[in-house]
Structure 1
Amino acid sequence: MAYGEWQNANPLTTRQQVADLVKGLLQALDTQFAAGETGITLGNTCAHYGPDIARMEGLSRALWGVFPLLAGGDTLPEAEKYLNAIRYGTDPQHPGYWGDTGPYDQRLVEMAAYGYGLALLDGRLTRHFSARELENLINWLSQIDDAQMPDSNWNYFAILVQMGFKCAGLPWQREAVERRFAMMEAYYLGDGWYSDGPGRPKDYYISMAFHFYGLLYATLMADDDPQRAALLRSRASLFAADFIHFSAADGASIPFGRSLTYRFAMVAFWSAAAFAGLDTFAPGVMKGIVLRHLRWWFDKPILDRDGILTLGYAYPNLAMCEDYNSPGSPYWALKTFLILALPDTHPFWQADELPLPALPAVRAITPADQLLVHSEGSRHAWLLTSGQLELNNYVNTEAKYTKFAYSSAFGFTIERGRYGIKHAACDSMLLLSEGDGYYRGRRGCDSVQTSDTHIFSRWSPWRDVQISTWLIPCGAWHLRVHHIDSARALHAVEGGFAVMHQPGITAVDERDGATLIASAVGSSCIVERSPRARLAGHVITPPNSSIMFAECAAIPQLSGELPPGEHWLCCAVAAGVSEPLSPDNAPRLTLTATSLHVSGADGETTILI
């Protein structure tokens, strides 16, 4: 099925149209799904687990779409094939048995889908299994009870299995649920935010895992565990007031962190909020966020010619994927279709689709050390971040977590090589080299402070190089101020946002102290504000380096030589979706011994240093 057919055929405005979308995705999978098989083969790329587990993963993730359809009363021709796969996959005597699990096993992750189905369908799922088949399913899932797994959102997988048992009227272990919740309580940061384990990042796993599963639990276990249900709902409400700032008016979300190949799982939180009847925002607001987001995605080439979701972000791109992404991994995106468990008569479906509410231009999220900014009437959403170190060092960790800014319209670029600035993903980064072509930027931070007006971080790319950075939003612009104390001579390159480079279309305007690039997807500008001027220029990256478009990216930049000693580097940076940018409109900065004084179109701010 060609991507264009998906793009043009379905306006995605009603429950039936969303259900048709999911059925179409499942029909495409069915062409790869042989009768009697216990997995789905979707490709030949590899993850850190073997192909048998990858096939099991592909089947299991499809169930995130199958189960809400069935719960909502839809008929699904492929349903019996999935039920047979579950019967065979959990039968130790069957050649397609999914096997016994070990520590940190990917199959533990996929067990969440079966707990989800048991809980969502209550007794309507178990009645399809004989007594022996049901015993096999229970025994296979029960391996998760005491399984050794990462100290992270994985704990919720064990909770979902027990919740499924309870909702389906099967024996369950309350103590297992209590133990897992107790472990995750250590991750809670306040104001509705978690980290994904001790010292781990605050990324989309907080929305699509912690709060998604938490709202499922709060809804389906409300009678049995009312106190925890109320707590989870309260935290989700706090989180919602922040998380809405990650959405732009056109439906795009800000790409940040790992696992971006799960794509529209970015708004799974809002589907769970609708399912739970969370009232932080009106049903029409949540409906608008979800449906605009789906339209945004299905206007992108994310399906192959057979209608299969590809690995990548806004287009197929293996270079930005994680080592745990198999060909079936993207189907975790189907978590967003929990809304299909709601009938047509539900307030979510009955409500008129509403735009984003009026939001403040800047939202400080202190627990996540982020400033969320909306400009151009929320057509552009972007965040400034302190930089979060992902301890597992996944592929392109620095690009995914430690840049200064991330954009709903322009995303970010990834490294395509270890040598030379064009391969180094310099957008929204300050990169430093000893003149040998190898660049270092911000990775871990020694200290971080977040306020309503700015983010401060201190970081050290070498032991004898200390850098203090202030990120200051100012209307559609933001200012970056770096104090560098270096024992070595360095070459510095600082980049703005990355836009699409198309010869003959993209226009580059370089002048003293500023570069403005105008492209088919918008414009990007960087303006020098340092006491010691750097050279304005731009860099063209290789194709497939941007997560947003396959074409080469153009990045405005400032560069200069830094002898050993102390230096101040300052610049103003902006990107525009539809409104024109001009270096003449960039905010100005005055440095004193004790303060940074910022003046721009929106007023003046003084930050003590």
Structure 2
Amino acid sequence: MQPENITLNNPLKNRGDLHKLVNELLNAVSPFFKKETSRVDLANFTAHYGQQIANMETFSRLLWGVTPLLAGGYEPEQFSFYIQAIKNGTNPEHADYWGEVEPYDQRIVEMAAYGLLLAVAHEPLLAHFNEQEKHHLWQWLKQSENQAIPDNNWHFFPILVQVGFHQSGMPNNADALEKHFDAMEAYYLGDGWYSDGPGRPRDYYISMGFHFYGLIYAKLMADVDPARCNKLRQRAAQFATDFIHFFADDGSAIPFGRSLTYRFAQAAFWSAAAFAGLEVYSPGVVKGIVLRHLRWWLEQPLFDRDGVISVGYSYPNLIMAEDYNAPGSPYWGLKTMLVLALGEQDDFWQAEELPLPARETHHSIAHASQILVHQPDHLWMLTSGQLELNNFVNTEAKYCKFAYSTRYGFTIERGRFGLNHAAPDSMLLLSEKDNYWRGRRDCQQVTTADGVIFSRWQPWNDVTIDTWLLPLGDWQIRVHSLKTARELDCAEGGFSLTNRPLPHAQMAQAKSLLTTSTDTSAIYCLSPQPRNGEQVLTPPNSNLLFAERAAVPLLKGALNIGTHLLISAVWAGDTQAFDAQTRPQAIISEGVVRLVMGHQEKQLILETHQ
């Protein structure tokens, strides 16, 4: 059922269209405003920080849409509610006071929205505050300066608060800025890339966190901190030349990592780039990325029937949620609406929307251990070496698969017993003959070079697997050198298809091929190790892109104690473009694998990683 209060056919071509969308998104939530208490309560489920803070989070995340409206000269329809809620929430004497923050407190995350509000819209906001109310707001936000927080992108939240203080004329703390910037410098990797804390992943938090906030800082603090602002701009420009490869021509982005329920926050970096005037791509190219991305999301069934954005990815799906996803969490996606703070005459809005620039077919990112592949009508990514140390829900599915796709998404685990529950797509799973399955999680070694990603991983301490991932044309090649001290079953999956309509399956030794009228997904065994083709249907709501059961092509076999070499070729895309006769071949000699496809050839020397 489509929501009546969201215009899903909004063309999203100009500033007025985006203004309309933001108003509709905000107004869909307004029936849930508790005006007698100045709270927002959207649903009965919650996050680990409890319902009261979850309600405060919901309200605060709406400000990522309210703020660019105010900065751009608009006033949201429920402005009086927002003003009163902020007054109440920051007043220690009020029943709705948001409270004193504690170490690692979610409320520190939400303070960033108030920092930006004060920085770019303090005049229309504070015109409604008396001096005591201003002091309450400043005092409540000031708690962020020295409170203990996770050692990751959270350091930017106190920084944005200080930016808001500086821009609005409130007392600010320069030492707090230095402390938090110094902490983040420790995990800068180079070439525009950070990890999200020491040894942490390189996921969308690098774009929608570090660089999004960094570009806001670079725009607003250039007069007082020019050297740092210049450095932040340079890093963002370097990052942009990699990050542009995460977006497909239709506006979709690679689903990968945690916090995917923030949806169109995937493009928040590009809105910040426009806001900061980052000169890396033309305004028309950046405008195209932002607006196509938003248009793609409006085509997805992401709303509940009342127009509230659901928790999930392309559809409502609590199964894929993190333990910090509350009902209002998805409204962090409103960060992408920052371009509304730019006036109508800004280059971004005056530019003609342009398509993505020409990009190489295969793009390797060593700092992230990723290779992006631009296949016609299918953007996919190979990856290794990412692990979320906090062990959030479905960490392996979100970070540790071999490949992620804009067109076919990925499946999440529903259980470890039975392949259909174990999310076998784009994974090599192993079982001790008992139908309990485990795959790649932590990598002991990762190297990305010459268009190949190598990883070493151990599903058990006496089973070691060396895996090489590489694209060859539009094919994905996987080479696994496996040494095991135990008897195992193995199952290796390709990309998953929706099972409506149920794909036609061709399964034989060394082959599993699934075909519909529009899509084909195939996996072939290229090595002598015998493996049989099978098909697995996953439970409903396991694939992030479609709610129906997913059909996964598999190669399945048995492994005796000893050393084995498994080589697979994977393909997925338009059925009309698939040609099995062109698939790669593997020529195996002592310690060397030659992969040949037409005039293309790649040689892997396996012993270099022994």
When normalised by structure 1's length, the TM-score is 0.98
Asked whether the 8 Å contact 1:475–1:602 carries over to 2, the reply is no
Whether 1:63 and 2:26 are equivalent positions in the alignment is no
The residue type paired with residue 493 of structure 1 is A
- Aligned equivalents of 1:579, 1:449: Cα separation in 2: 35
Whether 1:527 and 2:524 are equivalent positions in the alignment is yes
The residue type paired with residue 82 of structure 1 is Y
Task: Tell me how far 1:597 sits from its aligned partner.
Answer: 1.4
Query: Bigger CA drift: 433-442 or 3-12?
Result: 3-12
Task: Tell me how far 1:229 sits from its aligned partner.
Answer: 0.4
| Pairing 1:86-235 to 2, within 5 Å after superposition | 86-235=86-235
Whether 1:414 and 2:412 are equivalent positions in the alignment is yes
- Aligned equivalents of 2:460, 2:274: Cα separation in 1: 48
- What SS does the aligned partner of 1:27 have? helix
1:541 match: 538
Whether 1:553 and 2:565 are equivalent positions in the alignment is no
CA shift in 2, pair 1:412/1:37, >3 Å: same
Task: Tell me how far 1:513 sits from its aligned partner.
Answer: 1.8
1:449 match: 447
CA deviation map 1:151-173 (0-9, x unaligned): 00000000000010001111101
- Aligned equivalents of 1:461, 1:414: Cα separation in 2: 18
Whether 1:394 and 2:403 are equivalent positions in the alignment is no
- What SS does the aligned partner of 2:443 have? coil
Structure 1 unaligned runs (5+)?
none
Runs of 4+ in 1 over 6 A off after TM superposition: none
CA shift in 2, pair 1:344/1:520, >3 Å: farther
2:430 match: 432
Asked whether the 8 Å contact 2:5–2:306 carries over to 1, the reply is no
| Pairing 1:282-431 to 2, within 5 Å after superposition | 282-376=282-376, 379-431=377-429
Query: Bigger CA drift: 512-521 or 487-496?
Result: 512-521
Asked whether the 8 Å contact 1:492–1:562 carries over to 2, the reply is yes
Aligned-residue CA RMSD (Å)? 1.3
Asked whether the 8 Å contact 2:215–2:273 carries over to 1, the reply is yes
- What SS does the aligned partner of 2:74 have? coil
1:599 match: 596
When normalised by structure 2's length, the TM-score is 0.97
CA shift in 2, pair 1:82/1:507, >3 Å: same
Task: Tell me how far 1:35 sits from its aligned partner.
Answer: 1.9
Task: Tell me how far 1:125 sits from its aligned partner.
Answer: 2.6
CA shift in 2, pair 1:579/1:195, >3 Å: farther
CA shift in 2, pair 1:597/1:565, >3 Å: same
- What SS does the aligned partner of 2:284 have? helix
CA deviation map 1:1-59 (0-9, x unaligned): 93377464311111100110000010111111132433210101121011110000000
- Aligned equivalents of 1:126, 1:367: Cα separation in 2: 43
Whether 1:506 and 2:503 are equivalent positions in the alignment is yes
Whether 1:26 and 2:22 are equivalent positions in the alignment is no
The residue type paired with residue 527 of structure 1 is Y
- Aligned equivalents of 1:521, 1:43: Cα separation in 2: 38
CA shift in 2, pair 1:573/1:229, >3 Å: same
The residue type paired with residue 388 of structure 2 is E
The residue type paired with residue 448 of structure 1 is V
| Pairing 1:31-46 to 2, within 5 Å after superposition | 31-46=31-46
Asked whether the 8 Å contact 1:53–1:106 carries over to 2, the reply is yes
The residue type paired with residue 454 of structure 1 is V
Task: Tell me how far 1:453 sits from its aligned partner.
Answer: 1.6
CA shift in 2, pair 1:578/1:299, >3 Å: farther
Equivalent pairs, count: 606
Say which of 480, 483, 502 aligns to 2:481: 483
Asked whether the 8 Å contact 1:516–1:582 carries over to 2, the reply is no
- What SS does the aligned partner of 2:275 have? helix
Asked whether the 8 Å contact 1:387–1:403 carries over to 2, the reply is no
- Aligned equivalents of 1:483, 1:28: Cα separation in 2: 54
CA deviation map 1:249-286 (0-9, x unaligned): 01000000000000000000000001111111111111
Asked whether the 8 Å contact 2:8–2:298 carries over to 1, the reply is no
2:82 match: 82
Query: Bigger CA drift: 117-126 or 453-462?
Result: 117-126
- Aligned equivalents of 1:97, 1:521: Cα separation in 2: 55
Task: Tell me how far 1:289 sits from its aligned partner.
Answer: 0.8
CA deviation map 1:323-381 (0-9, x unaligned): 000000000000000000011111111111111111001111011111111111xx321
Asked whether the 8 Å contact 2:116–2:160 carries over to 1, the reply is yes
CA deviation map 1:531-577 (0-9, x unaligned): 22210111010100101000000000000000000000001001104
CA shift in 2, pair 1:577/1:338, >3 Å: farther
- Aligned equivalents of 1:520, 1:236: Cα separation in 2: 42
Task: Tell me how far 1:530 sits from its aligned partner.
Answer: 1.4
Asked whether the 8 Å contact 1:36–1:81 carries over to 2, the reply is no
CA shift in 2, pair 1:268/1:577, >3 Å: farther
Asked whether the 8 Å contact 2:7–2:21 carries over to 1, the reply is no
CA deviation map 1:223-252 (0-9, x unaligned): 110000000000000000000000000100
- Aligned equivalents of 1:429, 1:372: Cα separation in 2: 18
- Aligned equivalents of 2:214, 2:408: Cα separation in 1: 31
CA deviation map 1:115-144 (0-9, x unaligned): 010112244432221100000001100111
Asked whether the 8 Å contact 1:445–1:459 carries over to 2, the reply is yes
Asked whether the 8 Å contact 1:387–1:404 carries over to 2, the reply is no
- What SS does the aligned partner of 1:458 have? strand
The residue type paired with residue 564 of structure 1 is I
CA shift in 2, pair 1:497/1:273, >3 Å: same
- Aligned equivalents of 1:127, 1:457: Cα separation in 2: 57
CA shift in 2, pair 1:15/1:527, >3 Å: same
Asked whether the 8 Å contact 1:500–1:520 carries over to 2, the reply is no
2:566 match: 569
Task: Tell me how far 1:521 sits from its aligned partner.
Answer: 6.3
- What SS does the aligned partner of 1:184 have? helix
Whether 1:262 and 2:262 are equivalent positions in the alignment is yes
- Aligned equivalents of 2:409, 2:3: Cα separation in 1: 22
Percent of matched pairs sharing the same residue:
54
CA deviation map 1:290-330 (0-9, x unaligned): 11111111101101111000000000000000000000000
- Aligned equivalents of 2:218, 2:394: Cα separation in 1: 35
- What SS does the aligned partner of 2:258 have? coil
- Aligned equivalents of 2:38, 2:112: Cα separation in 1: 17
Task: Tell me how far 1:65 sits from its aligned partner.
Answer: 0.2
- Aligned equivalents of 2:116, 2:575: Cα separation in 1: 42
- Aligned equivalents of 2:200, 2:86: Cα separation in 1: 34
- Aligned equivalents of 2:110, 2:485: Cα separation in 1: 50
CA deviation map 1:398-426 (0-9, x unaligned): 00000000001111000011210010000
2:494 match: 496
